[in-house]
Structure 1
Amino acid sequence: MSHNFYPTVSNHRIELLDVLRGFAIIGILLSNILILSGYIFTPFSDLEKMHLPNLNSKLDLMIGILVRGKFYPIFMILFGAGLYMQFRKSSEQGFLKFFGWRMFVLVLIGLMHQTFWAGDVVTVYALFAFLLIPMRKMKAKTYLILASIMFVLHFISYYFLNAYLPTEHPTERIAQLHLPGVGPNELITSVKNDGIAGLWFITKSQLGFLWTIPRYIRVSPSTVFLFMLGAYLLGTGFFVEKAHKPKYYISFLILGVIGTYLMWSYSYSFSIIGNVFLALFYISVIALIMRSTYGQKFLKKLAPLGRMALTNYIMQSIICILIFYGVGLGYFAELPLYMVIFVAILILQFQILFSKYWLKKFKFGPLEGLWRKLTYGKNFNKQ
């Protein structure tokens, strides 16, 4: 494939963005491992019998408040910022062909991931990126206007779909999450005992739950909103010049707390407010910490994790499946939450070390290198 486009070299990268990607990867694992470990499918009666039930309940509450729904918005905002970087090259000859091929390759990587983890977001991000192509030459502030419109559309669609198309739940909920037509005990038994068939059973059941028209009516406006928000923030220099300022992280925290309160007290439709503004609060706090010498030295350890975000994101799914599913060790729905979190910490420690040493020999992670090779038609991965 012939073109004049080249990947961003290391000395031109914005370090804060890599640190934020690494930070997001941590939160995403803490969210996903609750599903991949079978914790949220475990009947409440079984959870009560596990070691240290009170500690597990408190940890579940903390994850619900501080983690769940807060880190995917960071990921989407950063993806939108990456799109903005790409769109700055849109006046160059052959850009549309190049960008379309780049996103198509990413779709293929995501579809590969979805064969064993239905919660994959790579496919969704790449497909939605095509929607922003007509807007590639817009000014940064125009992105904010359109993002605000998409924010309102998301809230309205979510509110009315919840009101008029409520999700069907079993009369008696025996676990945190039920997949349609599948009882928790049936699911756990299959995943633990049926090997590859069990892996496909839960993946197929989750895909049927996730890929529905009502769900995408809900999530489409929010996805485009967060992409546009990321483009606006990068285009206006927010990440480099403004994110660390008190007026931002204080405002984000207040709005995030208000949104979370409204979600818990009135309607889940308000979750977009709490989640997005707390995600922005996390971004601002990370930017603030990066301003200090000690803080920068500490958080820079997350930069390799973020530079290999695609590899680490998919690697997390593979490692968890090998630990929890019947194709591996088979600990699905067996571990108390504090041990599940401990496993997550071990995985993250391994990924931080792996990313650090991999990037000493290569410019990009394994999947990042493959993506660039297929996109650019050249191998840029050697140091």
Structure 2
Amino acid sequence: MTGGTRIESLDAIRGVAVMGILAMNIVAFALPFPAYSNPAAGGPPGDLDLATWFFNFVLVDSKMRGMFSLLFGASTLLVIDSAVSAGRRPAGAHYSRMFWLALFGLAHFYLIWFGDILFLYAVCGLLLFLFRNLSVKALLLWSLPFFLIAIGIPASLWVMLSMAQAGTLPAEAAAGMQEALRQMNADMGPSTPTYAEEIALYLGSYASILGHRTGEMAGDPLFFVGMFMWETMGLMLIGMALFKSRMLTGEWDLARYRKWAAVCFLIAAPPLVALALYQMQAGYAAISIFGASMALSIPFDVLMTVGWTALIMLLIKSVASDQARARLAAAGRMAFTNYLVTSVVMTTIFYGYGLGLFGSVGRTALYLFCFGMWAAMLLWSKPWLERFHYGPLEWLWRSLARGQLQPMRREAAGQ
């Protein structure tokens, strides 16, 4: 974010989003990757863990990342406007930020945790600048082809895999799809052979984990871009549109926020519940998880993301106390730092070079770690920003992007 006037509602909702990202990611921090989408990976789930997975699939997974993406789009406009107001070249300011963000993302992926989204955001940011001057309507229209691609590619693959599984695919295509189905079952299915291997890997040394990321997983950042950039671009464009429509600045009346939240949840929740039941009835077969998570849920995830955004803004404006808003806004102003520090803390708790809890904590109990980290974000961000202009990593990013050290202590700027 920029200096100058802050928009407290935007900072506060970003604070909620960075906390929500942890609720989405906690399983991937603490359990082998198949467990992220499949509650039966590693063994039959208990009722409480199954309920947790169900809740997460319907209300959390993709929605919190979606909200973060909306806010990235909105923040991009703020950064560009700030550069113009300060007499700096907006393109230079934006692309310098994206260059350093990409490097931060790659460092995060290779050195700390494989679930990085910063590199993806930086790549999307290269395109996002081109849309900065469009109207609300134009931004929404431009988001549609991105979403169509995001849905169309995995949906087409899901149909072909389903045909291969049913034996109805033409012979010339069947062999390739059968191999893809075999690999998908190995990666995501309930009896995946990689589960125990991942536990052994992440309970090992830092050197062995680093070697895995820089070896077998070296190309994954680009793979993730190819998979998720279309949906992410669509969400960022919607974020730009919502910012320009004053929704994210808190300028709508309460009734309008209430209506948007209700409509989005009422439309999105029933299909998402149906998709969760579809996976359960399919015995968490890899093909059902892929179809539900990667293709069929996308339009409803997007709707619920907007619904969450409207609901949180409603609560910030109508229910939250001044102190709560200030705490959330501080966590949001330090979202970059809080996001990366969360990765350091969680990997240290769960990986072998730290406390070594990887694979030993149940899905539901993992949320106790979320609560602890959320409390830390809310407790430390506000006191820090009372003494300093920026979070420590926000300051580093800003200094690198501008090519000179920025004032850090408030006294340094005469405050």
Alpha-carbon distance in structure 2 between the residues aligned to 1:275 and 1:171: 23
CA distance in 1, matches of 2:95, 2:41: 50
State the AA in 2 paired with 1:382: R
**2:365 is paired with a residue of what secondary structure?**
helix
Match of 1:252 in 2: 264
Q: Give the counterpart letter for 1:98 in structure 2.
A: A
How far apart, CA to CA, are the structure 1 residues paired with 2:184 and 2:32? 21
Query: 2:81 corresponds to which letter in structure 1?
Result: R
Report the secondary structure of 2:181's partner residue: coil
The amino acid across from 1:336 in the alignment is G
Change (3 A) 1:177 1:154: same
Which stretch has the larger CA shift, 151-160 or 86-95? 86-95
TM-score by length of 2: 0.79
Deviation by residue 1:238-292 (Cα, 9 ceiling, x = unmatched): 2222374133112211222254256445952221112111111111111111222
Aligned equivalents of 1:158 and 1:277: distance in 2? 19
Match for residue 8 of structure 1 among 3, 16, 23: 3
- Partner residue in 2 for 1:226: 235
Separation in structure 1 between the aligned mates of residue 24 and residue 332 of structure 2, nearest angstrom? 17
Query: What secondary structure is seen at the aligned counterpart in 1 of 2:61?
Result: coil
Q: Within 1, Cα distance between the matches of 2:198 and 2:204? A: 10
Aligned pair partner of 1:106 in 101, 104, 108: 101
Identity of aligned residues (%): 25
CA distance in 1, matches of 2:157, 2:227: 8
**Secondary structure at 1:290's aligned position in 2?**
helix
Q: Deviations over 1:45-87 (max 9, x none)?
A: 85559xxx33222222222222111100000000000112234
Say if 1:156 and 1:237 are closer, same or farther in 2 by CA, change over 3 A. same
> Which aligned pairs between 1:162-311 and structure 2 lie closer than 5 A?
162-164=158-160, 167-169=180-182, 183-201=194-212, 205=216, 211-212=222-223, 216-239=225-248, 240-242=250-252, 244=254, 245=256, 246-261=258-273, 263-264=275-276, 265=278, 267-268=291-292, 269-292=295-318, 294-295=320-321, 297-311=323-337
1:285/1:243 CA distance change after superposition, 3 Å:
farther
Please report how far the alpha carbon of residue 164 of structure 1 lies from its aligned counterpart in structure 2 after TM superposition: 3.7
Gaps of 5+ in 1: 1-5
Given residue 91 of structure 2, which amino acid in structure 1 is its aligned partner? L
Worse overlay, 236-245 or 183-192: 236-245
Contact 2:32 2:195 in 1 (8 A): no
Give the aligned CA root-mean-square deviation in angstroms: 3.0
Deviation per residue, 1:136-185 (Å, 9 max, x gap)? 33233321221123222322233223334765345966976899xx7211
Q: Give distance in 1, aligned partners of 2:339 and 2:365.
A: 21
Q: TM-score, normalised by structure 1?
A: 0.85
How big is the shift at 1:342?
A: 0.8
Provide the aligned length of Structure 1 versus Structure 2.
Answer: 369
Q: Which stretch has the larger CA shift, 254-263 or 144-153?
A: 254-263
1:154 matched to 2:150: yes
Give the unaligned 5+ runs of structure 2: 162-176, 279-287, 411-415
Q: Which moved more, 1:246-255 or 1:271-280?
A: 246-255
Partner letter of residue 320 of structure 1? M
2:400 pairs with 1:380: no
Does 2:117 correspond to 1:121?
yes
Alpha-carbon displacement from aligned partner over 1:213-246 (angstroms, at most 9, x marks no partner): xx64542221111111111111121222237413
